[in-house]
Amino acid sequence: MSVQPTTWVEGPAHRPVARPKGLRLAWGRNAPAYLFLTPWLIGFFGLTLGPALASLYLSFTDYDLIQAPHWAGAANYVRIATADPKFVAAMKVTFLYVALSVPLKLIFALAIAMMFNRGIRGLPIYRAIFYLPSLLGASVAISVLWRQLFASDGLINLVLWQLFGIEGPSWISNPNYSIYTLVILSVWQFGSPMIIFLAGLRQVPTDIYEAANLDGAGPVRQFFRITLPLLTPVIFFNVVIQTIDAFKAFTPAFVISSGTGGPINSTLFYTLYLYQEAFSFLRMGYASALAWILVVMIATFTAISFLSARYWVHYDD
Partner 1 sequence: MTDVTAAAPAIGGRRRRPLSHSVLIHAVLILASLAMLYPILWMISGSFRPQDEIFGSTSLIPSSVSLGAYVRGWSGLQVSFGQFFWNSLVISVLATIGNVFGCSLAAFAFARLNFTGRNFWFALMLGTLMLPYHVTLIPQYILFLDLGWVNTILPLIVPKYLATDAFFIFLMVQFFRGIPRELDEAAMMDGCSPWRIYRKIMLPLSLPVLATAAIFSFIWTWDDFFGPLIYLNDIGTYTVQLGLRSFVDSTGQSDWSALFAMSNLSLVPVFLFFLFFQRLLIEGIATTGLKR
Q: Which of residues 78-107 bind partner 1 (CB under 8 A)?
A: none
| Choice from 4, 30, 176, 280 touching partner 1 (CB under 8 A) | 30
- Closest contact distance (angstroms) between CB of 211 and partner 1 is 12
Q: Which of residues 215-234 bind partner 1 (CB under 8 A)?
A: 219, 227
The span from the CA of 222 to the CA of 311, in Å, is: 21
- Between residues 95 and 188, which has the closer beta carbon with respect to partner 1? 188
The span from the CA of 264 to the CA of 170, in Å, is: 15
Note if the bond before 233 is cis, omega within 30 degrees: no
- Between residues 139 and 176, which has the closer beta carbon with respect to partner 1? 139
| Choice from 126, 174, 177, 229 touching partner 1 (CB under 8 A) | 126
- Between residues 26 and 74, which has the closer beta carbon with respect to partner 1? 26
- Closest contact distance (angstroms) between CB of 128 and partner 1 is 6
195 binds partner 1 per the rule CB under 8 A: yes
Give the 3-state secondary structure of residue 71: strand
The span from the CA of 311 to the CA of 236, in Å, is: 12
Distance of CA 92 to the CA centre of its chain: 18
Query: Of the listed pieces 10-18, 78-86, 91-99, 240-248, which binds partner 1 according to CB under 8 A?
Result: 240-248
191 binds partner 1 per the rule CB under 8 A: yes
- Between residues 7 and 258, which has the closer beta carbon with respect to partner 1? 258
**How many helical (H) and strand (E) elements, i.e. helices and strands, does the chain have?**
15, 2
Q: Are 200 and 234 in contact (CB under 8 A)?
A: yes
The span from the CA of 6 to the CA of 279, in Å, is: 64
- Closest contact distance (angstroms) between CB of 52 and partner 1 is 5
Q: Kindly give, in sequence order, each residue whose CB lies less than 8 Å from that of residue 8, ignoring residues fewer than 6 positions away.
A: 18, 19
* CA proximity to 180, closest of 163, 168, 193: 168
Q: For partner 1, how many residues bind (rule: CB under 8 A)?
A: 112
Q: Which of residues 275-294 bind partner 1 (CB under 8 A)?
A: 275, 278-279, 284, 287-288, 290-292, 294
Q: Kindly give, in sequence order, each residue whose CB lies less than 8 Å from that of residue 47, ignoring residues fewer than 6 positions away.
A: none
119 binds partner 1 per the rule CB under 8 A: yes
- Between residues 42 and 99, which has the closer beta carbon with respect to partner 1? 42
| Choice from 8, 16, 44, 70 touching partner 1 (CB under 8 A) | 44
Q: Could you write out the three-class secondary structure of 192-232?
A: HHHHHHHHHHHCCCHHHHHHHHHCCCCHHHHHHHHHHHHHH
Q: Which of residues 134-173 bind partner 1 (CB under 8 A)?
A: 134-142, 144-149, 151, 153, 155, 158-159, 162
- Between residues 179 and 254, which has the closer beta carbon with respect to partner 1? 254
Query: Of the listed pieces 17-25, 76-84, 87-95, 238-246, which binds partner 1 according to CB under 8 A?
Result: 238-246
248 binds partner 1 per the rule CB under 8 A: yes
Residue type, 14: H
